[in-house]
Structures are given as structure tokens and as C-alpha cells.
Amino acid sequence: METTVVVRAIAVPDDFVARMRIAEFDDFGHRIERLRSRERGNPCRSCLRLSEPGDELLLVSYRPLPDTSPYAEVGPIFIHRRECVPFQGEFPDDFLVRPLVVRAYDRRGWISDAVIAQPGEATEAAARFLSREDVAEVHLRHVSYTCFDFKIVRSAA
């Protein structure tokens, strides 16, 4: 069966990002770390771009799912310390060069399936999962560090 699901990437919510930029502690009681990127590479989970050397970053804990099941993992993410342009679109260019873990979640927030996508193939893998009735959303993660990167959902359009 041909998949025709139109998808879009969802960055970390703007209100969460705004809150972290002025807070001293994150939602899990950890002191928010402020650091400067030494190289190109740390992805900001708001603009979904890899940091450039010298970029000021915040390191905070984030839980991409509501806290309703054992699958609601908490983990570290980077956010630009200063305002950046939140990502909107199907898939962020800076993530096309990486292999990614693609995890499908059901409506309860339980993992229903997962694959490793090769560079440039994560959109297709996400669309394939989202063509299934039991899948509510898809999460993209770093393939070895396994940190949460962003979500992919069915586009409302």
C-alpha cells in the first residue's frame, strides 16, 4: 500500500522555550546550564538547527510526552539562549545528514514501533508509521546518544 500521509515536524513548544530562557531551574529541578557551543553540532530544539561555534546554548531537561505512562522519558536538550526562529515545516534540513532513531507512539504514549533511519530517510519512515491507525505521533532521536530531537505528526493541511 502506498503511503500518502503528509507530515510536519514539531519543535519543542514556544512557551516551554520562553520559560527556560528566563528560569534558573528546569521543570525537573535541575539548574539550567548555560554554555557556549565549541563546534557545529548541538541541535537547538526550537529552530531545529545545529549550533554554530560560539552560539550560546541552554541545557535543560525535557519530557516530550505527558507524564501518563512509563514511556514518558525525561532527557537533556539544547535550546539557543537567545531568541531564534522556531522551526515550521516538514523536516529540518540540518537533520538530513544524520541517521536518526524513529519511534512511533500510540495515543496512550506507549512505544508501538521503532526503526533506525539512514540520513535523509526519516521523513519517509515517519510517514509510514503515521499511515497506521495505531500511531499518534513519531519522535526522532539521536542514533547513539538517543536524546530527543523533535516530533513528526500528520499535517492538518
CA terminus-to-terminus distance, the chain: 22
Closer to Zn ion by Cβ: residue 17 or 135: 17
Q: Which residues make beta-bridge pairs with 61? A: 76
Q: Which of 9, 20, 44, 102 binds Zn ion (CB under 5 A)?
A: 44
Contact 143, 101 (CB under 8 A): yes
Q: Cell digits for 34? A: 548555560
Give the separation between CA 55 and CA 44, rounded to whole angstroms. 10
CB of 33 to Zn ion, least distance (A): 16
The CA R_g of the chain, rounded to the nearest whole Å, is 15
Segment near Zn ion (CB under 5 A); pick from 8-16, 20-28, 36-44, 113-121: 36-44
Per CB under 5 A, 84 contacts Zn ion = yes
Q: Which of 7, 10, 17, 47 binds Zn ion (CB under 5 A)?
A: 47
Give the separation between CA 106 and CA 134, rounded to whole angstroms. 6
Per CB under 5 A, 42 contacts Zn ion = no
Per CB under 5 A, 20 contacts Zn ion = no
Segment near Zn ion (CB under 5 A); pick from 4-12, 74-82, 117-125, 127-135: 74-82
25 residue type, one letter:
F
Residues that bind Zn ion (CB under 5 A): 44, 46-47, 80, 84
